[in-house]
Structures are given as structure tokens and as C-alpha cells.
A and B are shown apart, each in its own frame.
Chain A
Amino acid sequence: MAVDFIYPEFEVIRNEDRCIACRACERQCANEVHFFSTEREKMMSDESKCVNCQRCVSLCPTRALKIVKSDCTLRENANWQNETIREVYKQAASGGVLLSSMGNPKPMPVYWDKILINASQVTNPPIDPLREPMETKVFLGKKPDKIRRDEKGNIICDLPPQVELSMPIMFSAMSYGSISYNAHCSLARAATELGIVYNTGEGGLHEDFYKYGKNTIVQVASGRFGVHEVYLEAGAAIEIKMGQGAKPGIGGHLPGTKIVDDVSRTRMIPEGSDAISPAPHHDIYSIEDLRQLVYSLKEATEYKKPIIVKVAAVHNIAAIASGIARSGADIIAIDGFRGGTGAAPTRIRDNVGIPIELALASVDRRLRDEGIRNNVSLVVGGSVRSASDVVKAIALGADACYIATAALLALGCHLCRTCQTGKCNWGIATQRPDLVKRLNPDMGSERLVNLMTAWRHEIMEIMGAMGINSIEALRGNRLMLRGVGLNEKELEILGIAHAGE
């Protein structure tokens, strides 16, 4: 119907002088935008299929292509914006729930960008990380309250299990199924080389990746896909996924069309069957029930693995975290509302949850006030984009950060936000063999190692500038932070002073 027609969001601009009709763009585009017209003897395009992933632009040998945002728009209206109107059209035509990918793209406040970091001048010298030792290693897990000694006076060293990281960053959960074999392979190899960890997500652990177990966190989510005794034993820690920042309070559906071959084997479900993760864990209705799942996992793994409980940052997060800390969990992971996803209902992604910066600050304070901060480590994610975000998170009280979108960008993701189609031209969010092979794990893992090495160096430089030589000394050190353009309430929640104070 004419009313359903939506003018394509992007235009494909082809420089006819440069185009040599080599058809590389046609071969590269899984969305089938480009085609060769024998009638006109030239390359043509159907831009209605274009998602602006930039694959053709990047691989055009003569640089003949560019993708631009279309200027054909509806009449301007600050209240009824183009996007809002288009969404109404889509729903009126289909009756469907709007489904989006990747993190919340709305112009919501990014508190990282309103926080500034201190540096030493005159009275306390900065440290040069190039010639002085600088410690970025962290251990995640329950820390003992006091030193205990036996009758001979020797220290009793029966520490609860810990996850050792060479730097305070972990690759956060992305399941095999939502991302490709080669993407998982790149993450696993990079984590191993870097001495950090990656996370299986709720899709199970592929048989080829058990060898990276020491650098793997295995996840247990409400669908319990691929969870069995050997899997639980395989990782460095076990993560119970209660929620995800991009879609707090709802579960996940990996459509049957993506449950092919290997993915079915790894999830341990039949091919073609929907993989439905219910919104709740049906055995967890209380903190006491959570404690039961935590301890059942500890019992099954003989208390050798730290247990992480991952929740989305929501309004009452401080009280929730306090409950988790008392459930026996060793590590709490909190995912902010800007966190990414392979697919989430648009309305949930864009409107549910709270920013990670505020959640982190209030959780850290609450756990300190209650005297239980050392019972758990805190890991935060939900749009940590750079080394400076990491430093700010640690100064606000985090032990480590989870990153995923940044890691995907390193692998070649161009943030076109159409993961749900399964036609990722960069070989990341797809299971199509011809697309998966575009991501070379040798190159992928190398780029991840490069990114993390660069961030680690930046973290050391920023810490050195502050006159701090270890992550331990930075953690919760809010005196190192100042806010700009924040109101009294925001400063109070973040527990930081305004710049100039």
C-alpha cells in the first residue's frame, strides 16, 4: 500500500566515472543492494535494502561508492520525528513488536563525558609508566575480612576462588549463535593472549573452545542452553545471567532459523527450534532462591569457581546488589541501559533501565555503607567505550569493566544495528558460512589484542598522571573525579565534587 511506503533511509552514491563494474560490491552485499544491469550495462542499486554497514564502501577497489543519509524526509516536526512516524507505519502494517539491535542510540546523558579526571601537579609527582612499575592486574572474587593464622603463626591462605585479570577489562557475554564461530574464536584467542577473559553468553561453549577454558566465563541463563557438568567445570568462573542492560526484565528468543548445525550442538537443542530464554529464571523468585542457584553451582563445581551474578541496572539497583552480595555470589556484574544486544524490543531497549555510571556509584556506596563491599567484586558494562571510561568506572568503585561493542568494533562491526537479520556483512552477527569466513580469527584476535594493549597503556598513563601506580589504589578513589555540567543531585549520587571545587 502506498501508505506503507517508506523512502529508503540511505542512498547509494556511485561515482560512474570511477566504477569499473567489477561487481565486488554485489558479491560483498548480503542484503543484495547492488546488481549489474545487462540492459544498461552498468551497476545499479536497490537502496531500500541498504543498512549502511559500509562493507561495499570499504571494499570498492576504485573508491567509487559512498552511502549517505537520505534527505528525502517527512515534514519536520520536533514532536513527531521521522523515526517515530516510520515506527508507527511499520507497526500499523505488521502488528509486530519493534525489534532493534545494538545499544540505545537515543541522545540520553552519557555521564562518562561529564566526568573529568585529576592529575598531579607540583605537590605530588606524577609517575611515568614507561620507566616505573605500574600494576594493572586485578583479582575478582570474595576477599577475606581479616588475616587468619594457625597456631604456629603462619598465615592461612585458603582464599575463596578468584579470577585473575592482567588488566581490569573483560569481554562481556555474547552467545555463539548471536555472533559467529570466528567472532568467538577471535575473542577466546585474544582473551588468552591478553590474560583476561571472554564470556560464552547463554549459547553454550563450542567444543573447539574448551581449550581456552582458563580465559572463559561460562554463562548460565534462564534457558540453561548448553549447561551441563563439563561446561560448568570448563570456565574460570560461572556467570548467572539475571538480566541484560539492553533489555532488563525480558528474556531472549534466538529464532529457529539461526539454530543451525554447530549452534544447535553447542546449545544442545534441535536444529530449527526456537531458543527461548524465559524472562525470569523459573526457580528464582527471591534472593533466597538466587542463593540456591549460586550454591547449587558451587556444589556442582566443588567451590572451585567464583560465581558472577549479572543484572541490568534498574531503579532499585543498590538494594538488589546488596541482596546479591548476601546470596553468596563472588562477583556482581551490572549492565547499564546503553549496553548492546543482538536483538531487543526497541521500546524496552530505549526506555528501560538506568545509566551504568549512576548505578555503579550508588551500588558501591551502598555496599560500603553496609560493610559488605569486600564480599564481592563489582564489574560494570553497558557502554564502556574507551580507556578513560574504564578509569572513571574504577574510580567510581568498579573492580573491572565488561566491554562488548568496543570489541565488536575491533572485529570490524560498523554499528549498522541490524544484527537481528543474521546477514552481517562483516562476518560477526551471522551464521552464514560465506559471511562468517570474512572474519579471519587471526586478524580478529590480533586487532582485539591491539585494542586492549592500547587501552592498557592509556590506563597506565592516566593513572601515572594522577600519581597512582595500581588499580587497587584507584578503585573507589572518587577524589580523582570531578563533574562538569551536572546538577547537585547527580553529583550527590556519583559521590563526586564539581569541577573547580
Chain B
Amino acid sequence: MLSFSAESLEHSDINEKLRSTKEDCSVDGCCGQRFIAAGMSGKDITVSGIPGNALGAYLNGANITVLGNAQDAVGDTMNDGRIVVHGNIGDAAGYAMRGGRIYVRGNAGYRAGIHMKAYQDKYPVMIIGGKAGSFLGEYQAGGVIVVLNLDTPEDKIVGFFPCTGMHGGKMFLRSECENVIFPEQVTARPANEEDFQEIRNYLTEYCETFGLNLNDILSGPFTVVIPDSKNPYKRMYVPN
């Protein structure tokens, strides 16, 4: 295990140290350095303090644990691996992620899971323990986004305009969603047993990670959102 302090290190220095070893790494005292572990694979990395934007961008199999909050663009275009954040995350988390898992204990900012994909054995999963901001899962094309709203159930679970342009994948919101407005091209309905089967393993792993009780979480009402078509714009054009 390689442990080092991020104090007075630039992002390129941190990544150089992370790349220099095959061992697992622990980075302390992180304070806003960006791009940590970009494109990395094959190791566990623990970060304390607050990593900056684009943590784990293009991540290719490494496992990152952040003991505090993380900022914007966590797991941008991530391909594989796991990012666990014990606090909150900023905006645009998991943009275009194709595989791997992002588990957040707290809230997510705006534009989480935009254009998430899925491909063959790649199936991206994002579980947000708290609430999510506006534009959640815009253009979602695959994978699954789960929002649990564990901490402030009286608050609205997601902001404005979730699922706009959604054309693949699934979204689970632990709420009846009576106050959430969805766009026309998706169907929102209560989750059934089959739906739960799809996410049970991920939720179990999530609960183990954060010391939560799976049955408590499953007891809440869940709304499932799926797109009506994987070709949402087919009829929009006329050849000229």
C-alpha cells in the first residue's frame, strides 16, 4: 500500500505517483486536485479530503473510495471500476459512463447520469443515497440510475426535467413521485418484483458499503422510469 499526502502536489504529480505503483494507494489531504485516477485500472485508491473535478474520468477498472465529498464530473466517460463517495457529489456525475458503478451516500448535483450507456457486458450503475438535482438522466441510453432519498424523505427526490431525451436504460426513484414531472416519451410506474431483481445485487453491495439495511431501503415505494422508444427522434425529420 502506497500512502502519500496530496498537500502541495499538483494533479499531475498525484497521478504520476498513482501510476508509478501496482499497489493500492491512499491519498490524504486532498484539496481540490482534479483528474485523480483518470483512465486508471487495476488498483484500489482511497482519497481523504476533497478531490477536485473529474475524479476517475475514463476510469478503466480501478476502485476509488472518497471518504468525504467529491466535486463535479465524477466518473466522466467511465468504462469500468467502482467509485464510492461517502459524502455528496457535484454536478454532471457519470456523464456518458458505459460501465462500472458509482455509489454515493449523500446527494448528487445537477445533470447526474447524463447520457449513460450500456454495451454488451458493460452495464453502468449509479446509486445516489440522497437526492438528485435537475436534469437527472438526460439522454440516458442505458444502465440504471437509482435515487434513494434516505435522509430527507420529505424533500422532492429529484429536481426539474429528469429523463429528458431518455432512450434506454432504467431509472429507480424511491418515491411515489407525485410531484415529479416527467417528459412525454417515458413511462413512470411503480416498481414490481422483476424490476427489483435487476438492482437487488447492486443495492446489497451499496448497503454493505455504507452499513445500511437493505430491507429498510426496499420498504420504500419505488417508481421505475423507462423510455417508450429507443428511437425518440425517428419521426422528427423529412428528407430534403
Mask of B49-78 contacts with A, CB within 8 angstroms, 1/0: 000011001101000000000001100110
Contact stretch, chosen from A87-95, A318-326, A353-361? A87-95
Given contacts A228-B79, A232-B58, A282-B92, contact A276 B139 (CB under 8 A): yes
Q: Are A274 and B167 in contact (CB under 8 A)?
A: yes
Q: Total A-B pairs in contact (CB under 8 Å)? A: 145
A235 to chain B, nearest CB (A): 14
C-alpha gap A166/B171 in the complex (Å): 51
Interface digits, A271-293 against B, CB 8 Å rule (1 contact, 0 not)?
01110101000110000000011
Instruction: Determine if A224 and B95 form an interchain contact, defined as CB atoms under 8 angstroms apart.
Output: yes
Complex contact A269–B119 (CB within 8 A) = yes
Tell which of B35-43, B153-161, B172-180, B216-224 binds the partner. Answer: B35-43
In the docked arrangement, what's the CA distance between A256 and B234, Å? 9
Do residues B73 and A292 form an inter-chain contact, with CB atoms below 8 A?
Answer: yes
B152 within 8 Å of A (CB atoms): no
CA distance A276 to B142 in the complex (A): 12
Q: How far is the CB of A293 from chain B (nearest CB, A)?
A: 8
Question: Is there a chain A Cβ closer than 8 Å to B98's Cβ?
Answer: yes
Given contacts A253-B233, A295-B35, A296-B35, contact A96 B238 (CB under 8 A): yes
A293 to B38, CA, bound (A): 11
A283 touches B92 (CB 8 A): yes
Contact B238 A300 (CB under 8 A): no
What residues on A are CB-neighbors of B39 within 8 Å? 229, 232, 299-301
Closest-CB distance, A98 to chain B (whole angstroms)? 4
Contact of A229 with B230 at beta-carbon distance under 8 Å, contacts A94-B238, A296-B35, A301-B39 already known? no
Instruction: Let me know if A346 is at the binding interface, CB within 8 A.
Output: yes
Interface size of A by CB at 8 A reads 47
Residues of B within 8 A of A220 (CB): 77
Q: Give residues of chain B (4-52) contacting chain A, Cβ–Cβ below 8 Å.
A: 11-12, 15, 19, 34-35, 38-39, 41
Q: Does A302 contact B (CB under 8 A)?
A: yes
Partner of B58, one of A87, A97, A229: A229
Contact, CB under 8 Å: B239 / A229: no
A93 cross-chain contacts in B, Cβ below 8 A: 238
A68 contacts the other chain (CB 8 A) = no
B11 to chain A, nearest CB (A): 7
B240 touching A87 by the CB < 8 A rule? yes
- B159 to chain A: closest CB distance in Å? 15
Contact A300 B34 (CB under 8 A): no
Chain A: CB-nearest residue to B53 = A292
Which segment of B109-117, B186-194, B196-204, B206-214 sits at the interface? B109-117
CB distance from B118 to the nearest CB of A (A): 7
- Option from B72, B111, B232, B238 in Cβ contact (under 8 Å) with A274: B232
B108 close to A (CB within 8 Å): no
Say yes or no: B34 contacts A296, CB within 8 Å.
yes
B10 to chain A, nearest CB (A): 11
B58, B95, B139, B237: the one within 8 Å of A283 (CB)? B95
Report A-chain residues with C-beta under 8 Å of the C-beta of B235. Answer: 96
User: Given A228-B79, A273-B230, A276-B167, are A98 and B238 neighbors across the interface (CB < 8 Å)?
Assistant: yes
A168 → chain B closest CB, angstroms: 31
**Which residue on chain A has the smallest CB distance to residue B234?**
A255
Does A85 sit at the interface, judged by CB under 8 A? no
> Which residues from chain B contact A118 at a C-beta distance below 8 Å?
none
B-side contacts of A293, CB under 8 Å: 54
Contact check: which of A273, A299, A420 meets B11 at CB < 8 Å? A299
Asked if B236 and A282 make an inter-chain contact with CB atoms under 8 angstroms apart, the answer reads no
Cβ–Cβ contact A90 & B238, under 8 A: yes
The answer on a CB contact under 8 Å between B239 and A299 is: no
Q: Does B240 contact A90, Cβ atoms closer than 8 Å?
A: yes
Chain A 288-315 near chain B by CB (<8 Å), digits 1 or 0: 0000110110011111000000000000
A99 touches B54 (CB 8 A): no
Contact of A278 among B139, B231, B236 (CB under 8 A): B139
Contact, CB under 8 Å: A224 / B77: yes
Contacts of B236 in A (CB 8 A): 96-97
B197: shortest Cβ distance to chain A, in Å? 20
Shortest A50–chain B CB gap in Å is 14
Bound Cα distance A94, B234 (Å)? 12
Name B81-139 residues within 8 Å CB distance of A: 91-92, 95-96, 98, 111, 114-115, 117-119, 122, 135, 138-139
Between-chain CB contacts (< 8 Å), 6 pairs: A97-B238, A223-B115, A276-B139, A299-B12, A299-B34, A421-B239
Instruction: List A residues at the B interface (Cβ < 8 Å).
Output: 87, 90-91, 93-100, 220, 222-224, 227-230, 232, 253, 255-256, 268-270, 272-274, 276, 278, 282-283, 292-293, 295-296, 299-303, 345-346, 418, 420-421
